[in-house]
Amino acid sequence: MRLLALISLFIQFLTPTFQQFPRQCATTEALLSKECCPVWEGDGSACGARSGRGVCQDVVVSEEPNGPQYPFEGLDDRERWPLVFYNRTCRCLQNYMGHNCGDCRFGHFGPNCAERRESVRKEVFQLSTTERQKLISYLNLAKNTISQDYVIATGTYLEMNNGTNPLFRNVSVYDLFVWMHYYVSRHAMLGGTNNVWRGVDFGHWAPGFLPWHRVFLLRWEHEIRKLTGDFTFTIPYWDWRDAQECEVCTDDLVGSQSRLNPNLISPASVFSSWKVICSRAPEYSLNGVLCDGREEGPLLRNPGKHDRNLASGLPTSAEVDFTLGLSQYDTGPMDRTANMSFRNTLEGFGDPRTGLGNSPKLGMHAALHVFMNGSMTSVQGSANDPVFLLHHAFVDSIYEQWLRRHQPERSHYPTANAPIGHNSEYYMAPFLPLYRNGDYFLSSKDMGYEYSYLRDPGQQFVDNVASYLEQVKGLWPWLLGAALLGAVCSAALAVGLAKAGRSALRRRRRNQSSEKQPLIISTDTEGSSSSYRTMRP
């Protein structure tokens, strides 16, 4: 714990993180002009244009038709993202990325983004003690660090009076991502109280589910690196196949259960002090308002005490294998009813034994959300729980396995008639900078990251040895101390044996002088070897 405190104290002095609505673009002037092209501090020009990093240009959105699941137009700020807010943004060049082109594209590093490096996401139980402490410390720092440069929207564009009354709020780095997950999955507000359209989700229930969450994790990982200055950091994954319990629910990871209240986190974990945001979807719908980022109570979790009618338990290896065997990425209406769809089955609405959509019981990805029985059961608020990161990293690894096995062409990702927000060329809400769904329908290796269990066996062996040496490195002071103590004890024993030997030799000589036949002396030396639904109690 002392190490965690020292790490947190040190990295608080580092540069704050960036994401979502840039503060420079949350002004009346920016909203009225519909231009979000912030200045890159490196050369004082918009989008770093003077340095050739990017240019400020018009946003061109796809005009391909959407599916019938959302029968409205012009009512939701996420439609044709980001045009309701901005129609001019930075387009970054070469290997640059970011709202002002001040960052490097995924997988690129260095001051000029010229260094390409592959990062490896490890299984959480492969992390060394130091790596586990870093993970917890970094997440806790992100939870308690207010972004100085980015804000969240607390009202719709209409409530902002079309830009003349900006409604934005400060938020922590961690909660920024919680809010984004809420915002992409929230109900569409049709005006007034208790008047929403629930059959829409710009990041779930359709083809964009996997690309959207891939970008989401990459951005989260990227922002934690910037916050801490540790560009070797990667989000670990939890391989939950065939698990019978929440194996990661320990105090040296995401927190065990409180003995006083099984719905709460143990006070021995830093996560017990966390407060959730954006967790009251029914309340927002009833009042016709957006989540405003205010704290709403403690983090809740009671794994395994879920509604068995919703999900049987955690996914099995056989279910994962069946899902990976489905050759079509998405099918039919490309929603929760899709049959024999890899995406729908992995997301959890297709039966992982038959592939039939609209399954009466949730499976795969959704089953784990139900199993955790608490904050994770709310689609909109599930990112409040750090289990979300470990879970979705493993879901992303299954997506990666499927891409490598089937090697689909980009044209296999739908360009039209998917539910709104999910066509190939649609920009993902609510990301700024902009990302398109179809651009992330490709291997993680093209984005500079890999999963440890997907590496070739030889490389896995090298990784395991490196992990072992890292752990031994932490034990080195103890091993050195033990070696020194052993040396002292050995020296003392040697001195004692030497004295005993000399004494025995003297006795032998005396006996030899008084007897014709010498005594036969024998010495024996002995040694020791060492809902997705509401919580149930």
Q: Mind listing the pLDDT tens digit for each residue in 189-207? A: 999 899 999 999 999 999 9
What confidence category does residue 467 fall into, taking pLDDT thresholds of 50, 70 and 90? Answer: low
Average pLDDT over residues 17-31: 81
**Per-residue DSSP letter, 383:** G
Average pLDDT over residues 473-502: 48
Count Cα neighbours of 438 within 13 Å in the Cβ-side half-sphere.
14
Helix ranges (H only) for 240-363 are 281-287, 317-325, 342-347
pLDDT at site 468: 52
256-310 pLDDT tens trace: 999 999 999 999 999 999 999 999 999 999 999 999 999 999 999 999 999 999 9
- The count of structural domains within the chain is 1
What confidence category does residue 533 fall into, taking pLDDT thresholds of 50, 70 and 90? Answer: low
128-169 pLDDT tens trace: 999 999 999 999 999 999 987 789 999 999 999 999 999 999
Which residues make beta-bridge pairs with 108?
116
Q: Quick one: tokens of 69?
A: 């699941």
**Cα–Cα distance, 141 to 223 (Å, whole number):** 12
Note the pTM of the prediction, 2 decimals. Answer: 0.85
Is 6 inside any structural domain? no
pLDDT at site 465: 61
Residue in the structure block whose two tokens are 């990976």: 324
For residue 238, pLDDT over 50 is answered with yes
Is 297 inside any structural domain? yes
Omega within 30 of 0 (cis) for the link into 430: yes
Contacts of 301 (CB under 8 A, 6+ apart): 246, 249, 255, 257, 263, 264, 265, 372, 373, 374, 375, 376, 385, 387
By residue range, what is the domain housing residue 334?
A: 32-470
Is 315 inside any structural domain? yes
**Cα–Cα distance, 407 to 3 (Å, whole number):** 44
Contacts of 405 (CB under 8 A, 6+ apart): 324
For residue 432, pLDDT over 80 is answered with yes
* Backbone phi, psi, residue 37, to 5°: -130, 75
Q: Quick one: tokens of 226?
A: 């910037």
Is 395 inside any structural domain? yes
Of 462, 14, 535, 502, the C-alpha closest to 228 is: 14
Which of 2-6, 19-23, 58-62 has the highest average model confidence (pLDDT)?
58-62
Is 49 inside any structural domain? yes
Is 23 inside any structural domain? no
What's the CATH code of the domain at 326? 1.10.1280.10
Is 505 inside any structural domain? no
What confidence category does residue 14 fall into, taking pLDDT thresholds of 50, 70 and 90? Answer: very low
Is 324 inside any structural domain? yes
Lowest model confidence (mean pLDDT) among 33-37, 371-375, 443-447, 503-507: 503-507
**Cα–Cα distance, 281 to 290 (Å, whole number):** 9
**Cα–Cα distance, 408 to 121 (Å, whole number):** 24
Contact status, residue 350 vs residue 356, Cβ threshold 8 Å: yes
